[in-house]
Structure 1
Amino acid sequence: MPVLPGAEPYRHDGGEVGILLCHGFTGSPQSLRPWAEHHAAHGLTVSLPLLPGHGTRWEDMRLTGWRDWYAEVDRELRSLRERCARVFVAGLSMGGALALRLAARHGDAVAGVVVVNPANKVHGASAYALPVARHLVRSAPGIASDIALEGAQELAYDRVPLHAAHSLRTYLRLLDGELPQVTQPLLLLRSAQDHVVPPADSARVLSRVSSRDVREVVLEHSYHVATLDHDADRIFEESLAFTGRLAPRVGKEGTAAVG
């Protein structure tokens, strides 16, 4: 199936500091494209891949699972490491969960982590029914476009394939056990109102990681897809400042270089 217009992956070759951006469950690079372009404009090397099964039609996602999604971002991280001196990982929702596992497994190869409304658990009584329900029901209503900004839309599926939702649940349970292996500096941004991922998920992440350099920012004016919402500029600026602090000279005079 062809990729939906706007859901294409994005890459930019910049300086010696790179950032890998990971989009969310049933979403696409469109939700993070402004973030990617902002950092590219400040001289960073940027990779924003399209996860397998995403960006086409929800039926395609039924054939994929967490191992496919994680393998894609793992490959992108390794590619960035080949051409950048410092690499950061970042993500929205499930993308944040993918970024956290990259940090847990790659250690010093990851300079820092930025997560926005990171997912830690599939919530609700229906989550416990997924192992059986996925064989009986193909999909459930979508979770896209939880955005406060009027007129803003997320390019994502209007249905959630239950096979994929079950795989996500399995992944998040695995990740929870690996969070203590995350030791890198961490910037966590969460929305005060989020109708997809509750504040408990961010609290759980913060309580489980071993990072000592941790900053939490509350986004007062945005819902779940905060990267397309009222606080988008703040996310971009906080993220750039974070990378700049840990990799000095990022963004100066249109270049990115480690000091």
Structure 2
Amino acid sequence: MSDTPSPEAPTDPLSLPAHPEQTGGRSVGVLLLHGYTGSPASLKPWARALADHGYAVEVPLLPGHGTRWQDLNRVSWTDWYAEAEAAFDRLRESCAAVAVTGLSMGGCLALRLAEERGDQVAGLVLVNPFVSSIRTELTLLPFIKHFIPSMRGVTNDIRKPGQDEHGYDRLPLKGLAEVTTMWKVVVPDLNRVNQPLLYFRSENDNVIDPSSSPTILHGVSSTDVEERTLDNSYHVATLDHDAEQIFAESAEFTARVTAT
């Protein structure tokens, strides 16, 4: 039997330690949260770029993901939040300051952490966060989820060729109903979010409609807000043509908001 370890599976969680010698002697952590039906694969290049700056990173695999799509019909949004909060607490055990980032549904979870954990969250970086929709068919989810297990998936909305977020090819409807249930908790409390916010939005997004942007930007109480429009990326912008911009600007943002 070979002693060579097997390659890391794309859906595996990722945890890398801080290197304070690269960050002025301070241990700084960043939590990265993936989207619905996605996986840590959508965030690992971003996480490794942040680790190269000396930041500790945690990229948890949210419950129901990375196995079979049917498993997303067996979990609740509070299961996802519990996993996000546990990863956040692991970072806080070893870091003086922690920033939180999220892609798509992960952005909604990041906002909930900011609402619940207050100044323990040093700053927020959101990439195409998903907290609302104008699609009227979503109002039918409480009914149709009992009769239709899933629909065609929305994974790999990436303009750049050859990329794969290793998500499900089906969209589980009971799980999607949990996403909309989470909105009903998070959106009314957006005024509790007062942390610095860096917001990336793709100009062309084939997964979510534009309604989440005004919902968040008009709802938070943050006074330190920077919005960036990505012209060359689709929904999974962290694997797309504008990824390097996200990596560089989020590293600079994290350095700034954790400096004191």
TM range, normalised to the smaller chain? over 0.9
Answer yes or no: is 1:243 the counterpart of 2:254: yes
Assess if the C-alpha contact under 8 Å between 1:186 and 1:214 holds in 2.
yes
**Cα RMSD (Å) of the superposition?**
1.2
Of the three residues 89, 100, 114, the one matched with 1:89 is: 100
SS in 2 for 1:140: strand
AA partner of residue 187 (structure 1): L
Q: Deviations over 1:164-191 (max 9, x none)?
A: 0111111012110111100000000000
Hey, what does 2:112 align to over in structure 1?
A: 101
**Structure 1 residues 163-178: aligned runs within 5 Å:** 163-178=174-189
Answer yes or no: is 1:60 the counterpart of 2:97: no
TM-score, L = length of structure 1: 0.92
Hey, what does 1:9 align to over in structure 2?
A: 13
Q: CA deviation at 1:122?
A: 4.3
Give me the whole-angstrom Cα distance separating, in 1, the residues matched to 2:170 and 2:133. Answer: 16
Assess if the C-alpha contact under 8 Å between 1:121 and 1:173 holds in 2.
no
TM-score, L = length of structure 2: 0.92
Q: Which runs of 4+ in 1 moved over 2 A?
A: none
Hey, what does 1:117 align to over in structure 2?
A: 128
Give me the whole-angstrom Cα distance separating, in 1, the residues matched to 2:75 and 2:118. Answer: 27
Hey, what does 1:253 align to over in structure 2?
A: none
Give me the whole-angstrom Cα distance separating, in 2, the residues matched to 1:199 and 1:186. Answer: 18
Give me the whole-angstrom Cα distance separating, in 1, the residues matched to 2:154 and 2:227. Answer: 25
Hey, what does 1:160 align to over in structure 2?
A: 171
Give me the whole-angstrom Cα distance separating, in 1, the residues matched to 2:163 and 2:201. Answer: 19
Of the three residues 196, 219, 223, the one matched with 2:234 is: 223
Assess if the C-alpha contact under 8 Å between 2:132 and 2:215 holds in 1.
no
Any unmatched runs of 5+ in structure 2? 1-7, 21-26
Any unmatched runs of 5+ in structure 1? 249-258
SS in 1 for 2:99: strand
Hey, what does 2:208 align to over in structure 1?
A: 197
Hey, what does 2:86 align to over in structure 1?
A: 75
Deviates more, 1:192-201 or 1:121-130: 121-130
Give me the whole-angstrom Cα distance separating, in 2, the residues matched to 1:198 and 1:124. Answer: 8
SS in 1 for 2:86: helix
Give me the whole-angstrom Cα distance separating, in 2, the residues matched to 1:79 and 1:178. Answer: 25
Q: Deviations over 1:95-134 (max 9, x none)?
A: 0110011001100100000000000124422211111101
Answer yes or no: is 1:149 the counterpart of 2:160: yes
Hey, what does 2:54 align to over in structure 1?
A: 43
Give me the whole-angstrom Cα distance separating, in 2, the residues matched to 1:203 and 1:222. Answer: 20
Q: CA deviation at 1:60?
A: 1.3
Assess if the C-alpha contact under 8 Å between 2:132 and 2:211 holds in 1.
no
Q: CA deviation at 1:141?
A: 0.9
Of the three residues 23, 40, 54, the one matched with 1:29 is: 40
AA partner of residue 240 (structure 1): A
Q: CA deviation at 1:200?
A: 2.0
SS in 1 for 2:211: helix
SS in 2 for 1:148: coil
Hey, what does 1:256 align to over in structure 2?
A: none
